[in-house]
Amino acid sequence: MITHHPHYELLNAYVEGELPASLSAGIAVHAEMCEICAKNIQRITEEAAANTFSDDANVYNSLSKKVITDKAFDNISEFDLMMKSIMEDDSITEMMTQEPLDVEIKGTTYPLPTALRSMAMMGWQKLGKLSRARINLNEGSLHTSLLHIDKDGGVPSHTHKGFELTLLLEGSFEDEKGTYVKGDFIWLTDKHTHTPHTKEGCLCYTVADDALQFTQGLSKLLNPIGKFIY
Amino acid sequence: MYTPWTYNSAPTEIIIRNSTMNSDEQQQLKSWLYDIATDRDKNAFTALFSWFAPKIIQFGIQKLNTESAANELLQETMTNIWRKAHLFNGDKGEATTWVYSIMRNLSFDMLRKVRSNREDTLSEDIWPMAEAQLVQEDSFDDHLMSSNLLKNIDILPEAQKEVVKGLYLEEMSQEQLATKLAIPLGTVKSRLRLALIKLKQQIGESK
Ligand SMILES: [Zn+2]
């Protein structure tokens, strides 16, 4: 059973379209597997829509710094032109049917979640039982990857300078705090130190905003792994 | 920018404040959308445009910072509404929620272009609901089948009639029908959707 979910503030920012693509996709993939969060997202969306479009919208938005100027409405004829040009094209948008995509690593094929299907994915790099495919989203210090850990593999004890989101797509893993299963949305910060290990193997979607810091000795030796995972 | 959100709070069902939209207004918006879908009704579109435009501009200025970006958001959102009105399903949610989702998706892609210099349109994969909700309900439900809905089939344009007949009288699958008529599967689904709206209007279920 999924026990780790995105917090309300995160869902709210997701609904308003304010999160980076990497985190938005993480929430979308979680919601595909979690009915509770899917339902809450639906409700937050309804509320955001009603707030944005109600007649009270002006009052509501006056709390924020940017208040709309009357200037935008001055040029009625500009809107008129826009409206007419839109209606000149009579074509309609057909529904798209999409073929499911797969991703293959170490002899196993996994279905690729919808939210990730158009993202630019680099090739797999392998280091022992760890395999990583970078997802190139160009989001500055945010690094997004698919991470595969083979049966009986793990990552040495580490903490995080910024945050690390791990979303379990398939399989399970354990750390000091417990067991995580498919769908779990695991948000770790610098307050957390952990040593993930997997018996059955797992595929994760990860977003990290800073390199891992290894907390045990041999840090120099382990450093390449930190860079590898980040 | 990134607050350390607690990561394992058990979610409870969120209680939503009462909407400030009254239901007459929501009905009006739905009815305009249906008129655009079935008749390409320009008066309905004009009314819908006037209703949403100031609010979309305001949202655009808040999220995208400039009036020119807000204007672009308005143009794109309204173009999508004009072309996708047949994909709106009033049984599944309010018109405001549907328009909001379209607007939010476009604004997300525009923001991403500014922040990450990427021209991809990831929003359609991240929030596939607007279109995907249809894929799950692209058939008449039993209640509608047992009603007199199909008796009104003659009011439909030829292309839609062909699709409804193939699916419900000849009991072909959507895929088989697409092959037989040599049209894309998406076109079968769109025509079915339009036929459904029209037939429901006929027996007074919608509007
Ligand atoms: Zn959840």
Yes or no, beta carbons of B11 and A40 under 8 Å apart: yes
* Nearest alpha carbon to residue A195 among A158, A147, A161: A158
Residues with CB under 5 A from ligand 1 (ion): A 5, 34, 37
Partners of A180 in the β-ladder? A173
Which SS3 state, helix, strand or coil, does residue B12 take?
A: coil
Q: How many other β-carbons are positioned within 10 Å of the β-carbon of residue A217?
A: 8
Yes or no, beta carbons of A66 and B61 under 8 Å apart: yes
Yes or no, beta carbons of B82 and A87 under 8 Å apart: yes
**Closest to B128 (Cβ–Cβ): which among A46, A114, A188?**
A114
Which SS3 state, helix, strand or coil, does residue B9 take?
A: coil
Yes or no, beta carbons of A92 and B190 under 8 Å apart: yes
Residue type, A128: G
Q: How far is the CA of A210 from the centre of ligand 1 (A)?
A: 25
Residue pLDDT, tens place only, B34-58: 999 988 999 999 999 999 999 999 9
The mean pLDDT value for A160-170 works out to 87
Distance from CA of A108 to the nearest CA of B (A): 24
Please give the structure tokens belonging to residue A221.
Answer: 């030796």
- Chain A residues with CB under 8 Å of B184 CB are 94
Please give the structure tokens belonging to residue A19.
Answer: 């999160």
In whole angstroms, give the CA distance from residue A27 to residue A16: 13
- Asked if A7 contacts B9 with a C-beta cutoff of 8 angstroms, the reply is yes
- pLDDT of B104 > 80? The answer is yes
Residue pLDDT, tens place only, A22-47: 999 999 999 999 999 999 999 999 99
The mean pLDDT value for B177-183 works out to 89
pLDDT bucket at A107, cuts 50 / 70 / 90: confident
Q: Tell me if chain B has a CB within 8 Å of the CB of A176.
A: no
In whole angstroms, give the CA distance from residue A30 to residue A54: 30
Q: Tell me if chain A has a CB within 8 Å of the CB of B105.
A: yes
Q: Tell me if chain A has a CB within 8 Å of the CB of B158.
A: no
Q: In what order do the strands lie in the sheet with A197-198?
A: A153-154, A197-198, A173-175, A178-180
Per-residue confidence (pLDDT) for residue B138, from 0 to 100: 46
- Asked if B36 contacts B194 with a C-beta cutoff of 8 angstroms, the reply is no
Any residues with CB less than 8 A from the CB of A151 and at least 6 apart, and which? Answer: A129, A198, A199, A200, A201
- Asked if A51 contacts A57 with a C-beta cutoff of 8 angstroms, the reply is yes
Q: Write down the ipTM of this complex.
A: 0.84
Q: How far is the CA of A36 from the centre of ligand 1 (A)?
A: 6
Yes or no, beta carbons of A66 and B53 under 8 Å apart: no
Which SS3 state, helix, strand or coil, does residue A144 take?
A: strand
In whole angstroms, give the CA distance from residue A8 to residue A206: 20
DSSP type of residue A109 = E
Residue pLDDT, tens place only, B134-163: 444 444 554 455 456 777 888 888 888 888
**Closest to A57 (Cβ–Cβ): which among B5, B55, B86?**
B55
